[in-house]
Amino acid sequence: MPYTTVNGIRMHYETHGAGDPVLLISGLGGPGVGWLFQVRDLSPRHHVITFDNRGVGETDMPHDLRYATDELAEDARALLDHLGIARAHVIGASMGGTIAMELAIRHPARVRSLTLCCTWAEGDGRFLRAIEAWRALAPQLSLEDRFRHLLFPWLYSPAFLADSARVSDAVKRALAYPFPTRADAIERQGRGLAEWSGTRLRELGKLRVPTLVLVGREDILTPPALSRRLAALIPNARLKVLPGGHAFFLEESDRFNRAVLAFLGGLAR
């Protein structure tokens, strides 16, 4: 498993496949392994890079009060430097989408395209209160209860949640990961993403990078209205609404991956 040092911390990352580079950026508390279905389908055509954001997985957890979005974006940029990648297609889910946007704002020459999934330029009241609740309750719950009772009701669609077998399988997969996210990491990342919300609206209007905005039709955490506003802010951004909830890239991975591959394929022509 490869590691490198970026901005004073040890970062864990993985690479798969060959071709045009694609950098996948995870959301709040999510390790890079959460992109396993995307790695499976994208790596036959692309050089796919996943990594653990600071505080998560096998990446170091600095003793800061918060992990600011610009700091996380600079970690991603430093990883590209380490890998010798001048320019990459960047895909971010949820908080990872805000990191991707910040990377494009700060280093536009490094970003070939943006795919922004279940994310936001400015969160609404329900979203911000939900993140606040996650930060407050995560330390009080066992890992299984955190997934089953705190996170999953926000992440998956009603149909998924009604299927006990699918829910149990998702819980088992989450608990099998050997580097569980600490509650402190949720607090620090959550504080940073809440502080970023709504601060980059003007800068997003200046982006000149091909952008696809994807969202799950049944996403109640970052509902389609937030994606519609985001797509309206970024010049010439395309919006596509797919089935599924907030974690639609897991729940509906085949549809999600087809949409991403079609977008990337169109840019290659």
Half-sphere exposure of 203 (CA within 13 A, CB side): 16
The pLDDT assigned to 268 comes to 74
The pLDDT assigned to 57 comes to 97
The pLDDT assigned to 181 comes to 97
Count of Cβ atoms closer than 10 Å to residue 147 Cβ: 20
Q: What confidence tens digit (pLDDT) does each residue in 6-46 have?
A: 999 999 999 999 999 999 999 999 999 999 999 999 999 99
Q: What are 229's two structure tokens?
A: 């506003």
The pLDDT assigned to 269 comes to 58
* CATH number, domain containing residue 103: 3.40.50.1820
pTM value? Answer: 0.97
Question: Taking the chain (269 residues) in consecutive chunks of 10 residues, what is each chunk's mean pLDDT?
Answer: 94 98 98 98 98 98 95 98 98 98 98 98 97 97 97 98 97 96 97 97 98 98 98 98 98 98 90
| Domain containing residue 76 | 3-268
Strands annotated E in 52-110:
88-93
Domain count, the chain: 1
Q: What confidence tens digit (pLDDT) does each residue in 80-105 have?
A: 999 999 999 999 999 999 999 999 99
Q: What are 10's two structure tokens?
A: 């040890």
Spell out the residues 6+ positions from residue 241 whose beta carbon is closer than 8 angstroms to its own. Answer: 214, 215, 216, 217, 224, 227
CA angle (18, 117, 174) in 5-degree steps? 80
The pLDDT assigned to 77 comes to 98
Helix-strand-coil percent breakdown of the chain, rounded to 5?
A: 50, 20, 30
